[in-house]
Amino acid sequence: MTESFETTASHRRVRVWFGAHPIADHTADADQAAQYEEAMRRRFASLRVTSEPVLVGSTTAPERAL
């Protein structure tokens, strides 16, 4: 059996953009992310708001070298 190293999680990353610069970055489960996205679209009507799935590795993160 093969193991997938990246799987799509039930979390989403919502960002508010001012040109090419993100001014807000929030990650939450799908339901909360949808509410956050809706609120940011209302608050920043003239800015671009994106919502992307978060990829989660199935293995633990490597330890940092000191």
Q: What is the mean pLDDT of each run of 10 residues along the chain (66 residues)?
A: 58 97 96 98 98 73 54
Q: What is the DSSP string of 1-66?
A: ----SEEEEEEEEEEEEETTEEEEEEEEEHHHHHHHHHHHHHHTTTSEEEEEEEEEESSPPPPPP-
User: What's the confidence (pLDDT) of residue 66?
Assistant: 55
User: What's the confidence (pLDDT) of residue 41?
Assistant: 98
Residue type, 36: Y
Token duo for residue 32: 């909360």
User: What's the confidence (pLDDT) of residue 55?
Assistant: 78
pTM for this model (two decimals): 0.71
User: What's the confidence (pLDDT) of residue 44?
Assistant: 97
User: What's the confidence (pLDDT) of residue 4?
Assistant: 52
